[in-house]
Amino acid sequence: MVQSGEAITNVRTGQRMVFRKTGRETNGTLLEIECFNPPSGVKEPEHIHQNRKVFARLFQVSFIFRLMAKCE
């Protein structure tokens, strides 16, 4: 299992993700990842994080997100 401080790199996009908090450390309540995304012409495929709350804190960014939400 991944531990805080470990990093992985997506060789296709160059995106580097550093794990700050893991499910193991937070009793399954939180996964905190810091992402570094270099400029690239490669786009991430659209995907959905079902049954998850996703929060983002942004620093010096320029990007396009497509957000879809269902209100009940």
Edge-to-edge strand ranges of the sheet holding 16-21: 7-9, 16-21, 32-36
Q: How much is the pTM?
A: 0.66
First to last CA, the chain: 36
User: What is the token pair recorded at 20?
Assistant: 């700050």
DSSP state of 11: T
Counted domains in the chain = 1
Range of the domain at 35: 1-72
Rounded to the nearest 5°, which phi and psi values hold at 39? -55, 135
pLDDT, one tens digit per residue, over 8-66 is 999 988 889 999 999 899 998 888 898 888 888 887 777 777 777 777 776 666 666 56
DSSP state of 44: P
